[in-house]
Chains A and B, each alone.
Chain A
Amino acid sequence: MNLTLKVWRQKNANDKGKFVNYNVKDVSEDMSFLEMFDVLNEELISKGEEPIAFDHDCREGICGMCSMYINGHPHGPLQAVTTCQLHMRSFKDGDTITVEPWRAKAFPVIKDLTVDRTAFDKIIAAGGYISVNTGNAQDANALPVSKEDADAAFAAAACIGCGACVAACVNSSAMLFVSAKVAQLALLPQGQPEREERVQNMVHTMDEAGFGNCTNTGACSFECPKSISLENIAMMNREFLKAGLAGKK
């Protein structure tokens, strides 16, 4: 199939940036979206032009590095699929596809489609952990966890930290990302001792990083490549409220 790509080009953080059109020919439907970009980049290089910079690594939908806002959707038109797992059979001959970077104040553009997501690391560093030094652990089976809680914690922990939730949100809120970690640890007995401080510290850091607030549109969960549930946000709000009532900070 032949396609027209309308791609955001921005030389660096200070550049204003603009859309540039590219025609891509003979695209196989078995190609992934990123492989189509590989082919385009090869062509640009052979013509002496600058290839398009985009983030990607594992190309199997788990590392969370690929981004791309495709036709108005983070990770493209399919639900529960990352850009790297999106295949060209989801498009048809003659399509025009618009590709932009994640757009959020807290995710400044580095170049073209590549953005800086270190704000997420800062939020985790503020409390997204259980404080247990290596060597302190008791026998793993000494602490039974009901299957229901373990499964729910796992479902929240499946977040890949890609930032699609922020890109999807009209307010550029990071609530889904933050709540997934808060919920995972709050659901487990191991997470109890730091439960209140954790949610407070993570939420404060999230606010400081410049993410917006949640107005319950649900776009984050709908667009999430791992279908992280909105219930996590509800849980985080409860946790935050409880921590405040408990008189912490």
Chain B
Amino acid sequence: MNLQSKIPDGPLAEKWSKYRSTVPLVNPANKRNLEIIIVGSGLAGASAAASLAELGYRVKVFCFQDSPRRAHSIAAQGGINAAKNYQNDGDSVYRLFYDTIKGGDYRAREGNVHRLAEVSGNIIDQCVAQGVPFAREYGGLLSNRSFGGTQVQRTFYAAGQTGQQLLLGAYSALQRQVGAGSVKMYSRHEMMDVVVIDGQARGIIARDLVSGKLERHFGHAVLLASGGYGNVFFLSTNAMGSNVSAAWKAHKKGAYFGNPCFTQIHPTCIPVSGEHQSKLTLMSESLRNDGRIWVPKRKEDAEAIRKGQKKASDIAEEDRDYYLERRYPAFGNLVPRDVASRAAKERCDAGYGVNATGEAVFLDFAYNMKEKYGRTEAMKHGIENPSQEKLKELGKEVVKEKYGNLFDMYKQITGVDPYEEPMQIYPAVHYTMGGLWVDYELMTTVPGLYALGEANFSDHGANRLGASALMQGLADGYFVIPYTIGSYLSKEIRTKAIDTATHPAFAEAEARVKETIDRFFAIRGSKSVDHFHKKLGKIMWEKCGMARNAQGLKEAIGEIRQLREEFWQDVRVPGTADEFNPELDKAGRVADFLELGELMCLDALTREESCGGHFREEYQTEEGEALRDDENFAFVSCWAMNKVGDWTLHKEDLVYENIKIAQRSYK
């Protein structure tokens, strides 16, 4: 298949405005007859649902949680980027575009990213109008902070709960449409399959998770806003229910999967504490504004800390290695996530890790608490020669105001007070840049089937910058899909709603779903779903995680295939299909992860270069930085599934007309 990215012609800055002015429209009377299905109610799904319903389309929204407000966007902490330049510090649409392309290690499309930067400001306007309580300065205007990979302050935030506030904004817009009767909400529903008729997406099979009943739903278009697939690693910062199933079913129905191996490992998460661990908790990137990352300079000190003989505060200033500030003086602690994660792994692998497992580094606020905030406060209050205690006392209040909820969360989880001792952190799986391949209109390779937000592959290249996920989810939902969907639906105005009760394609799809469910119960094996999920996660983390190599990836593919076989012979799913049965839901999701894991390894094996979050040990510079191969790998990997375990690679070449691609440097 010849992949058409459909990026409009013309100068970069004019592509989107030209597109918007020329894209076919659907008149209001016709919109009322067009039905749109949206799977997922996070930032992308809820914002798309509200915006499309406002335009007059008839919308159905599905989510597996008990309420659309639970979607995992809610857990995003730090903030959302926008090129407002309110700080007068040199920001612009072009600079946000440039930072995003560079941060993504030159593996994203110029046209898409520029559009994202263009609409970023509108997102902030929209959210404020909805009543999202962003942080403000005393003058009543919006406040900003810095995030990794940038040198301007363009991140808008609401304490450490920005995702929550943005999602509640989108949720309230969605509920307004539910109340108005323009959106029908199906919570506690899981999408089981996409129904494709004559090559076009025409609906879905859904399962009511409470009654277990299978349902058929028709739509003129189907939008997947079902999030990322980080849970393939079992341990990640994702919610327990986050899954790839909707996207994977679409993949199996012909939608190409883009860059599956591009996974973001977030540098600042609370380290693993034991075998019982069910998930990992992020400590927001915003903490790197004020926290300094270090390990001891001497191995003896690291060992003593690991054994509990020494504490962080016992290590003298000159014996600390602030390795990010040492290696990357220009960006220091604010290098992008992939760079910070690898640097932490490098120190821990070399024997400088600081917790019992040897897999943790310090994130230390003492210096800024005293020297940055304490001193400023002391000056403000006219306190001359403040003592160290006084500085700490004054600074602590400021830190509390900025990051209080994060510090409380850390203490709750670890039992250690981060105001007194530095946090211990280690990288963990957080986000997936890969996802369903989409064109400029966010359509997958199946006509009428779209992917929005983290579920698509599009804007972050090989590494996403902090505070850009919220931006992309809302850009896709509020400002992109309402325009681009017209290009397809304007041709669908004559398509009558299909009678799902009688159409053979719906019957066939439903029968397949039922077959799979029956198969789970027929196995009556000896091991739980989680048993297999944990095993898969371990393979993925060790062989397709922060560092990868050809041998490990080949081994992983073999191990995953074997695990998949065992799963289908020995999994135990208790209960029945016609009741509320969370174990059955999990079984379906893990079955899909067991197929996806293999594709991720295959993609990582095929991409013989290092870029962004994809680090192949064979391809690195002498200083241990990622070594890209632009001559051979400046493309998007687009995988078509022939059958499980058998894929064909297609390539979308990435063309850079505006940016000169170079080795990424944060030194």
Contacts and interface: CB of A to CB of B under 8 A. Distances in A.
A34 B241 CA distance: 14
9 contacts: A30-B415, A31-B276, A63-B65, A65-B65, A65-B66, A114-B580, A121-B69, A130-B172, A137-B128
Contacts of A191: 131
A115 to B, nearest CB: 9
Given A110-B580, A161-B69, A58 B133 contact: no
Given A62-B161, A129-B131, A130-B131, 16 more contacts: A12-B580, A34-B278, A59-B279, A87-B412, A87-B413, A121-B187, A128-B175, A129-B175, A137-B125, A139-B125, A143-B128, A146-B136, A150-B134, A153-B133, A154-B133, A157-B133
Given A63-B70, A157-B165, A191-B131, A85 B412 contact: yes
Interface string A105-133: 00000110010111011001111111111
A211 B240 CA distance: 30
A64 interface: yes
B75 interface: yes
A147 B178 contact: no
Most buried by B among A62, A124, A143: A62
B175 A124 contact: yes
Interface stretch (A42-50, A168-176, A236-244): A42-50
Interface string A11-53: 1100000000000000010111011101100101110111101
B128 A190 contact: yes
Interface stretch (B139-147, B246-254, B621-629): B139-147
A188 interface: yes
A125 B176 contact: yes
A89 interface: yes
A126 B172 CA distance: 10
Contact of B67 (A58, A81, A134, A161): A161
A137 B122 contact: yes
B583 interface: yes
B521 interface: no
Nearest to B141: A141
Which size class do A's interface residues fall under? 35 or more
B17 to A, nearest CB: 14
A121 B188 CA distance: 13
B600 to A, nearest CB: 24
Given A85-B412, A191-B131, A46 B528 contact: yes
Contacts of A146: 136, 140
A132 B177 CA distance: 11
B278 A38 contact: yes
A160 B158 CA distance: 15
A184 B408 CA distance: 24
B153 interface: no
A134 B580 contact: no
4 closest cross-chain pairs (CB), A and B? A144-B140, A125-B179, A129-B172, A137-B129
B175 A147 contact: no
B658 interface: no
Contact of B75 (A38, A44, A63): A63
Contact of A188 (B86, B131, B176, B187): B131
A133 B54 contact: yes
A55 interface: yes
A121 B133 contact: no
Given A53-B582, A57-B241, A190 B171 contact: no
B171 A45 contact: no
Contacts of B653: none
Contacts of A51: 574, 582-583
Interface string A170-195: 00000000000000110010110000
Contacts of B122: 135, 137
A245 interface: no
A151 to B, nearest CB: 8
B575 A50 contact: yes
Contacts of B479: 134-135
Contact of B276 (A28, A60, A127, A138): A28
A246 interface: no
Nearest to A134: B51
A176 B598 CA distance: 48
A138 to B, nearest CB: 7
B475 to A, nearest CB: 11
B325 interface: no
B589 to A, nearest CB: 13
Nearest to B531: A42
Nearest to A181: B172
Interface string B134-166: 111111111000000000000000110101110
B406 to A, nearest CB: 10
A212 interface: no
A137 B126 contact: yes
B131 A140 contact: no
A154 B278 contact: no
Contacts of B114: none
A185 B131 contact: yes
Most buried by A among B137, B140, B482: B140
A158 interface: yes
B220 interface: no
Contacts of B185: 121
Nearest to B478: A134
Contact of B210 (A81, A110, A133, A157): A110
Contacts of A38: 276, 278, 530
